Chains A and B, each alone.
Chain A
């Protein structure tokens, strides 16, 4: 689960991180009070959406030469103009896709006098199983590019879980970032606090880009991205409250209510599969025969008729879907349950497009019987390959 920059900063502030004063607004009525609450002389107006690249992003509704999604303002009037121009418009960044995201929240923050921009993140290292700090002196730019072009400028420090981030770990990072004096003292404290926040709140990613050294040699968190481990949300009700559903795909929200794993894609063949691996294999084979999957949908191992019905509804709600492939290999999953779910769903939402069903495994004969006797116009397939060929043919003709 992702949260907004202003939420991340508020959370990090509770762990003692140096964050500039700032006020989030969710309507234009709040703008004036927000500006007045900050001392100036510089006000930064930042779009709050769940996507990176905001500064270089463009608003769809504004002229091509208009400024981006993060704007520095040197007077209250200029800040107000920027707020009015940005609020409610659609920001397109390299991470939002061409449709962009509507800016419904802005964060007004005091400006900082930047001397140097650094990069810092924490994540769980797949290889060592430990939490790793990733740090670089090359802050403020795309870390991917830094990793590719100058890998020696990327430093990683693994933290032993039983010890946490020690003074030595923190000092090693501070040295890698070439910090000295007060900045170094503050950084050591900051790194230890960030680790505590990362561990205590079950974060999966904490990225500060840039982390800055100010002209007075103080540390400050200038931007912050935080993602939480969805599997650990059960023990963090405070974090759950930070969820902004307007940032998420409606169909994905609907799917998550029924414990379905769904990701919307751009193609025309809707897929319903049990198991993530089999779902990916199904998408691959659809592509092989020249089709494009419209989604990834894993109904999981313990699907009920209700879950399958819901999955089917989500798939058919996508206007791009021109055909549906149901591929179920019932290991734990029973084919008769799937079949009943499909029949029930079609009863409820109709069947506007061709449907290919491939059932295999537990109670497969019962499942096929339910489909056959339903009177539905279903194309039966024998195996994965056959199913993929048939749905692509049905869609492409």
Chain B
């Protein structure tokens, strides 16, 4: 089991013919994921990486039975690509593109309203269910199947922590990069809900940082349910500078967004086991699991 994607996920790539698109599609196929086609207006009917190309997402879905899309197009076109996939009714969209304009993401969020589409990203390393499905740009060498679910706002930190997991022989059910941008698709809460329902996931690790309310929302959700599985969180940015400019952070904090310390306190109050720094995550997972067993 896993969340969002598994061995049955059939993936198309929007932007497959670009340099990054070609590279990461090839990597994912080599990893053993099922990729079934690509989308690029004007390239319909051609082939790329030995897969059929289509002009539209809708066409690609009809012809290939695709249920997920990797969006790997330049930032100026990313929103239109996501909106096209949402309107075509695809189940899962993973957008790895960085620097998508905020106002464009407003339109993407509006398009998502009322649909069942799951958007992962943008500015995400993607999603990985080890040995079943990779949609994204993350390295896979330290990933292995197992029982810890990971949801993260940081790609680099996830790589760091997966290396520690690997050394400890600890595997993952699914690793989700929710993305580093202000406006993004699925949040910690949605990941927590799915991991809770996933029989294989025995513990959940959240990798958070300053800014936004993802951690606060996660804490609020965890206080509202009897979660039943240990949750471990690392929140970085305790010493990052904030609000030096034009009262930026000031105005934003009118709408929420606490410091790392407040986020940590909030999560701890919700029963989350806190990893004090990036090197402590594996130890924290083991402690949290031992504590859960004892109680």
Give min CB distance, A227 to chain B, whole Å: 6
Tell me whether B253 and A275 are in contact (CB under 8 A).
no
A353 within 8 A of B: no
Q: How far is it, in angstroms, between the C-alpha of A253 and the C-alpha of B286 when the chains are bound?
A: 44
Tell me whether B157 and A287 are in contact (CB under 8 A).
no
Interface string of A263-304 (1 = CB under 8 A from B): 101000000011111111111111110000100100001000
Q: How large is the interface on A (under 10, 10 to 19, 20 to 34, 35 or more residues)?
A: 35 or more
Tell me whether B103 and A124 are in contact (CB under 8 A).
yes
Give min CB distance, A143 to chain B, whole Å: 6
A362 within 8 A of B: yes
Tell me whether A362 and B213 are in contact (CB under 8 A).
no
A59 within 8 A of B: no
Interface residues of B in 100-118 (CB under 8 A from A): 100-110
Nearest A residue (CB) for B139: A331
Interface residues of B in 148-166 (CB under 8 A from A): 152-160, 163
| A-B interface, 10 closest residue pairs, ranked by CB to CB distance from nearest | A275-B156, A277-B154, A129-B109, A277-B157, A278-B156, A232-B101, A281-B278, A331-B159, A280-B236, A385-B279
Tell me whether B246 and A285 are in contact (CB under 8 A).
no
Interface string of A137-177 (1 = CB under 8 A from B): 00000111001000000101000111000000000000000
Tell me whether A278 and B106 are in contact (CB under 8 A).
no
Known: A129-B105, A277-B207; 7 extra A-B contacts, CB below 8 A, are A51-B246, A126-B213, A232-B104, A276-B209, A277-B157, A281-B234, A284-B237
Give the interface segment out of A60-68, A181-189, A201-209, A365-373: A201-209
Partner of B248, one of A125, A205, A230, A329: A205
Tell me whether A329 and B137 are in contact (CB under 8 A).
no
Q: Which residues of B contact A144 (CB under 8 A)?
A: 247, 250, 253-254
B241 within 8 A of A: yes
Partner of B241, one of A124, A129, A132, A265: A265
Given contacts A231-B99, A234-B76, A285-B279, contact A147 B254 (CB under 8 A): yes
B121 within 8 A of A: no
Q: How far is it, in angstroms, between the C-alpha of A145 and the C-alpha of B238 when the chains are bound?
A: 23
Q: How large is the interface on B (under 10, 10 to 19, 20 to 34, 35 or more residues)?
A: 35 or more
Interface residues of B in 106-155 (CB under 8 A from A): 106-110, 125, 137-139, 152-155
A123 within 8 A of B: yes
Give min CB distance, B279 to chain A, whole Å: 4
Tell me whether A126 and B212 are in contact (CB under 8 A).
yes
B30 within 8 A of A: no
Nearest A residue (CB) for B211: A126
Tell me whether A129 and B183 are in contact (CB under 8 A).
yes
B239 within 8 A of A: yes
Q: Which residues of B contact A273 (CB under 8 A)?
A: 156
A2 within 8 A of B: yes
Given contacts A234-B76, A361-B159, A362-B139, contact A229 B103 (CB under 8 A): yes
Q: Which residues of A contact B108 (CB under 8 A)?
A: 129
Tell me whether A161 and B139 are in contact (CB under 8 A).
no
Nearest A residue (CB) for B110: A161
15 pairs, A vs B, C-beta closer than 8 Å? A2-B246, A52-B247, A121-B251, A129-B108, A231-B102, A232-B103, A265-B241, A275-B154, A276-B154, A284-B277, A285-B277, A329-B160, A329-B163, A360-B160, A361-B163
Q: Which residues of A contact B158 (CB under 8 A)?
A: 277
Q: How far is it, in angstroms, between the C-alpha of A231 and the C-alpha of B278 when the chains are bound?
A: 29
Give min CB distance, A235 to chain B, whole Å: 7
Interface string of B268-288 (1 = CB under 8 A from A): 000000001111000000000
Partner of B107, one of A161, A280, A284: A161
Tell me whether A283 and B240 are in contact (CB under 8 A).
yes
B52 within 8 A of A: no
Interface string of B152-187 (1 = CB under 8 A from A): 111111111001000000000000000010110000
Tell me whether A383 and B250 are in contact (CB under 8 A).
no
Tell me whether B101 and A277 are in contact (CB under 8 A).
no
Interface residues of A in 298-316 (CB under 8 A from B): 301
